Amino acid sequence: MKKFISIILTLCLAISICSFATAEDVADIIAQAQTMTNEELYKKAIEESNGKDFFAVGNSSRGKKALPLFIAELQKIDPSYTLNFDWQQPKENKIFDQLTEDVNGANHVMSMTLIQDGNQIQSKMLDTGVLLNFVPKEWTEAEGLSKEGNEFPLALQTLNKVFMFNNLGDAEFTNMWDFVDEGQAPLFMDVNSELVGKNFLYMMTSDTYATWAKEAYEALPAEKQIYNDLIEDMKLDAADLGLTGENVNYGLAWVYLWCEKYNAQTDDGPICNTLVTTSAVDQAGLLVYSKLRSVEETPESSVNNITVAAYQDGYTGIGGYAYKHYLMLTKTSPLPWTSCAFIAYMTTTADGFSPWGADMGGYAPVPACMKDHSQDGVIDGVDTYPAKNDRGYEWWINTGKLVVEDPAYCASVSGTMSDWIDGIRAN
């Protein structure tokens, strides 16, 4: 009897240890996977998941298009390979709760995620250990890799939202401060409808972007430098918010004016459809660049009715902002090898990235994944729609001066800045 009890206790302890060690097992697999080639990962995925169910959740629905391509890639190695999958896309910012509940629950279903909003990713996913980062070996070794800001967490793509304006009138927007000038009401998705927009405003208080705001303000003609008092007053607000950068008051002043003036919209599609019309004379907006791809050319609407502000010679200041889609595993991933293989496929191959690379305005860190969109506005050899000729990631980050989301910085200031921004909007 004692021996029987001892065996039962040993089995119970083993089960307990296995259950407790799940997160460690996933982390260990990630560590191994980061030393492997794509082909080695594909073989591991086949061993792990052939004929099984794969569940993932993402802010982008295009994962549904990438998974069949991934399966086809694995079938080149093993034609008998099959995978049943379910790619969910939660609405209303519920993805964070869904992932947390899955990881902390008794039954773990979700293997991986494609997720946006660096602020909440940092505070709710990374700081808590709900998600684990994986960096493919072939990603780190890729030629021309844009590594900075894309490695932790691992970015699938960088997307840009850019300043545009209707060019049928006399209004000029040659400086970032023109968009917050007297009488302006630029169209913009409300910051509490799409939180990456709030992250953009947080980032404007970081040293680099606050300095860009100062330089742009000082480049204005003297008669347009009308916010000197506000900029001075923002030093007190910066102190109250715990912001200490040398030029933070310039970034904060621009954010204050932007929040005071922008015309809140529910989606970038309607913003684009408004700006390209003949009735939107002198209106401006900040929206996803890729929305230009779907404009239907009519006598009343045309891509040629808008100008991308940063494409103008002599434009000064930020041209818009960038946010990212990140790929990570849940720490209790039921199929970690398959998740790593799928992530490697999407981030290092043109076919894997193709569901996202089909449009301008979305940039993979690995250049070989990218499709060239620099001639998207050229029709039969004629540069018909110049605004659609995407100048590419490097141009936008450097010359176009995008404000790029940094999850750690956003999380460090959101506790105080979120209410400050909401207060401006409420007034």
Is 160-322+376-426 a CATH 3.40.190 domain?
yes
Topology agreement, domain 2-156+324-369 and domain 160-322+376-426: yes
- Residue 13, pLDDT score: 39
Give SS3 for 167.
Answer: coil
CA distance 363 to 370: 7
Q: Can you give the pLDDT at residue 22?
A: 67
Q: Tokens for 270?
A: 């309607």
Place of tokens 């347009």: 224
In this structure, whether the domain defined by 2-156+324-369 belongs to CATH 3.30.365.10 is answered with no
If the chain, 427 residues long, is cut into consecutive pieces of 10 residues, what is the mean pLDDT of each piece?
44 39 85 98 98 96 96 98 96 91 96 97 97 98 96 97 98 97 96 95 98 98 97 98 96 98 96 98 97 96 98 98 98 98 98 95 96 96 98 96 98 97 93
Q: Are 87 and 58 in contact (CB under 8 A)?
A: yes
pLDDT value at residue 12: 44
Task: Determine the angle formed by the axes of helices 63-75 and 350-357, rounding to 10 degrees.
Answer: 160
Segments making up each domain of the chain, as ranges:
2-156+324-369, 160-322+376-426
Sign of CA dihedral 43, 48, 51, 55: negative
Helix and strand totals (H; E) in the chain:
16, 14
**How buried is residue 10: exposed, middle or buried, by Cβ count under 10 Å (0-12/13-18/19+)?**
exposed
